[in-house]
Amino acid sequence: MGVVRIPAPIFETVQKHLFSTRGEHFAFMLARVASSEGKPVFMVREAILIPDRDVKVTRTGWELTTEAVLSVVNAAIRSGDALIEAHNHGGQTPRFSPTDVEGLRDFSAYVLGSVRGCPYGATVWGDDLVYGEFFTPDGGHGALRSVVVTGTPLRQLISRDNDRHRVDVVFDRQLPWFTPAGQRMLGRLRVGVVGAGGTGSPLVQNLVYLGVRDFVVVEDDAADETNMNRLVTAAAADVGTAKGVLARRLIRSVAPTASVRHIPSKLQSQDALDALKGVDLLVGCVDNDGARLVLNELALAHQVPYLDLAVGIDAEEGRLRVAGGRLCVVLPGGPCLYCMGEIDPTEACFFLSTEEERAFQVERGYVRGMNVKAPAVVSLNAALAAMAVNELAVLVSGVRPVSYYTEFDLLGIGRPIGSQWATPKRVAKNPDCIDCTLAGAGDSARIERYVRAEGLV
């Protein structure tokens, strides 16, 4: 099922136009296109509003003038972008009318034949939800799975057949925060989680209790005895079981109907990268900057909001020197991990190397400490996971601006009081950041260049 991502300013412009006065109004959006799991991902970059004078009322419905259609199609041809049509119906459950369905058959064929190589999207906007379908040059056709407005708040506007159903009673005590509409939106977001270990396991636990019901979990590792002090998805008998399987089991024990796609491979695999391009929100629970570099680039190129967690402990012979972590939030148009100084190029290069190259660097003494297992404690991992889910809740509810960078210091070193501190840090977009030039590039960013048989997490 296809995906449409719309920047908040463009969404607001289109929505204002469509609902400016009574009756149906029309707009088109130009979008760069990527592909995820064989379905189109539309990344909107511009809106074309159709003036009402170019809309004619006929016996069968509403029609655009030939001049308006040619102008829109020529704009797509010049830019090389795909087209997405938008018109309004109003109401809580927008759907195409029989007249729309009949007209789409011919109009989609015309657009596909004119804007070669690009899919076509068609959407109908209700009062606060959007329904849509896509058409591809090879004859494919399907419903959109997701229509997301990227911004603060992050809004999932896709309309489904259960729009009017009562929210499950299990969420009654959090509805004062999220509202029924917000709770439905949480259940319709597809969240990609990379890493289902010490940090990823409490993260998925928090997400499913919050109400997320659509997961993509990328994890190829299995539980071993050294994980059992912090893997909250596992019981004693689970040593040897894949961590992704354990995550899926926990999710479905809470929500039996939840959709969970477990990808039992590492991040640098075709399956993982392809699936993650189609998620609505991405969370990285990884332990090296090679994986962070890949996730940062994927999020930027495909306009996916990305939360990145890091936990660290420095202890020696029973003396704890440093304990804490940090949460970074990368939003379309905002600073990325490189801008924040959170990707070490040397470490990233090491982990993006082959196993043979890494072994050679370690043997020759070119790198130190990168292949050493770091200390880990369940409560610290859980604190950072909860911090991430809290910030996700802020992002989707809009109760305050998102914090791009939050530092967690367990010891309060150098603080007025020796205690636990969660402190926001000011970060800004670097105008010279090379990674930020990938913003909205879609498949032209060639994220698949990182694919390697052995992969990484």
Amino acid occupying residue 173: R
Q: Where are the beta strands (DSSP E) in 12-169?
A: 26-36, 39-50, 55-57, 62-64, 82-88, 120-125, 130-135, 141-150, 155-156
Q: Count Cβ neighbours within 10 Å for each residue of 49-87 and write b for 16 or more, e otherwise.
A: bbeeebbeeeeeebebeeebbeebbebbeeeebbbbbbb
Q: Please report which confidence band the pLDDT of residue 91 belongs to, taking 50, 70 and 90 as the band edges.
A: confident
* Angle at CA of residue 250, ends 244 and 253, nearest 5°: 140
pLDDT at residue 369, rounded to an integer: 54
61 pLDDT band, cuts 50/70/90, is: confident
C-alpha distances out from residue 91 to 199, 371, 412, Å: 42, 57, 52
pLDDT higher than threshold 80 for residue 76: yes
Instruction: Tell me if residue 405 falls in helix, strand or coil.
Output: strand
Q: What is the pLDDT of residues 413-450, one digit of tens each?
A: 989 999 999 999 999 999 999 999 999 999 999 999 99
Query: Considering the entire predicted model, what is its pTM?
Result: 0.94
Question: Which letter does DSSP use for residue 227 in this model?
Answer: G
| Nearest residue to 205 via CA among 248, 170, 171 | 248
pLDDT of the residue at 319: 86
Give every CB contact of residue 438 below 8 A, 6+ residues apart in sequence. 297, 300, 301, 445
Tell me, what's the pLDDT at 351?
Answer: 86
Query: Using only C-alpha atoms, what is the Rg of the chain?
Result: 23
Amino acid at 127: D
Residues 331/398, Cβ–Cβ less than 8 Å: no
Is the confidence at residue 453, as pLDDT, over 90? no
Summarised one tens digit per residue, pLDDT across range 239-294 is 999 999 999 999 999 999 999 999 999 999 999 999 999 999 999 999 999 999 99
More confident residue, 387 or 363: 387
Tens of pLDDT, residues 382-394: 999 999 999 999 9
pLDDT tier for residue 357 given thresholds of 50, 70 and 90: low
User: What contacts 254, CB < 8 A, 6 or more positions away?
Assistant: 208, 209
Mind listing the pLDDT tens digit for each residue in 164-180?
A: 899 999 999 999 999 99
Nearest to 411, CA basis, from 422, 419, 402, 403: 419
CA distances in angstroms from 299 to 44, 123, 223, listed in the order given: 15, 25, 28
Provide the pairing of β-strand 259-263 with 2-7. unpaired
- Give the residue with greater pLDDT, 370 vs 123: 123
Write the pLDDT tens digit of every residue in 178-193.
Answer: 999 999 999 999 999 9
Q: How confident is the model at residue 57 (pLDDT cuts 50, 70, 90)?
A: confident
pLDDT at site 90: 79
pLDDT value for 445: 95
What is the rounded distance in angstroms from the CA atom of residue 343 to the CA atom of residue 155? 29
pLDDT in the model for residue 368: 55
pLDDT-derived band at 356 (thresholds 50, 70, 90) equals confident
Task: Label residue 8 exposed, middle or buried (CB < 10 Å: 0-12, 13-18, 19+).
Answer: middle
Q: How many residues does the chain have?
A: 457
Q: What is the b/e burial string over 306-334, where b = at least 16 CB atoms within 10 angstroms of the residue's CB? A: bbbbbbbbeeeeeeeeebbbbbbbbbbeb
Please say if the pLDDT value at position 359 is more than 80.
no
DSSP state of 242: B
Model confidence band, residue 372 (pLDDT cutoffs 50, 70, 90)? low
- Stretch among 57-61, 83-87, 293-297 having the lowest mean pLDDT: 57-61
Q: Map out the domains of the chain with their CATH numbers.
A: 2-156 (3.40.140.10), 169-450 (3.40.50.720)
- Give the tokens for residue 415: 């603080």
* Cβ-contact 132, 141 below 8 angstroms: no
Q: What is the mean pLDDT of residues 230-238?
A: 96
Both tokens assigned to 113: 């034949």
Averaged pLDDT for residues 229-238: 96
- Which residues on adjacent β-strands are paired with residue 420? none
Mean pLDDT score of the chain, rounded to an integer? 93
**pLDDT for 360:** 57
Residue 105: Cβ-neighbour burial (10 angstroms; 0-12, 13-18, 19+)? exposed
Token pair in block for residue 356: 């043979």
Using DSSP, state whether 4 is helix, strand or coil: strand
Residue 230, pLDDT above cutoff 70: yes
Give the integer Cα–Cα distance in Å for 328 and 348: 17
pLDDT (mean) for 208-215 = 98
3-state secondary structure of 303: coil
pLDDT band for position 27 (50/70/90)? very high
